[in-house]
Amino acid sequence: MEKTLVSPALCPRVEHAFEILGKKWTGLILRHLLTSTCRFNEIQSAIPELSGRMLTERMKELEEEGIVERTVIPARPIKIQYSLTQKGRDLEPVIRSIEEWAEKQD
Split into its structural domains, the chain has a count of: 1
d(C-alpha 16, C-alpha 11), whole Å: 9
For residue 75, give the CATH number of its domain. 1.10.10.10
pLDDT-derived band of residue 100, with 50, 70 and 90 as boundaries?
A: very high
Q: Where are the alpha helices (DSSP H) in 1-106?
A: 12-21, 26-33, 40-46, 52-64, 86-89, 92-104
Q: Note the pLDDT tens digit of each residue in 20-31.
A: 999 999 999 999
Any domain includes 4? no
d(C-alpha 15, C-alpha 8), whole Å: 5
pTM value? 0.84
- 44 lies in which domain range? 14-104
Q: Note the pLDDT tens digit of each residue in 50-93.
A: 999 999 999 999 999 999 999 999 988 899 999 999 999 999 99
- Count of Cβ atoms closer than 10 Å to residue 76 Cβ: 5
Q: Is the peptide bond before 74 cis (omega within 30 degrees of 0)?
A: no
